[in-house]
Amino acid sequence: MLKDKSVAITGSANGIGRYIAHRFAEEGAKVAILDIDEAALAKTHSELLDFGGQAIAIPTNVRSEETIRDAMAEVAEKFGSIDILINDAGIVPHFMWGGPRWPAIRDMDESFFWNVMGVNLGGTFLCSKHATPYMEQAGGGHIVNLYGGGGKSPAGALTYAVSKEAIVHFTDYHAEEVRDANICVVAISPGAAIATENAPEEARSRMPGPEFAGDRFLLASQVPMEMSGRLLDLDESGKLFVVTRNP
User: What sign does the dihedral 34-40-46-51 (CA atoms) show?
Assistant: negative
**CA 15 vs CA 32, 81, 137, 163, 212: distances in Å:** 16, 26, 32, 19, 11
Catalytic-residue membership of 19: no
Hey, how many other C-beta atoms are within 10 angstroms of the C-beta on 68? Answer: 24
User: What sign does the dihedral 98-216-22-44 (CA atoms) show?
Assistant: negative
- Element housing 133 (H / E): helix 123-138
Give the CB-side neighbour count of residue 145, counting CA atoms within 13 A: 34
Please, are residues 160 and 103 in contact by the beta-carbon 8 Å criterion? no
- CA 188 centroid distance within chain: 9
User: Among residues 134, 147, 160, 173, which one is catalytic?
Assistant: 160
Among all residues, which ones are annotated catalytic?
A: 160
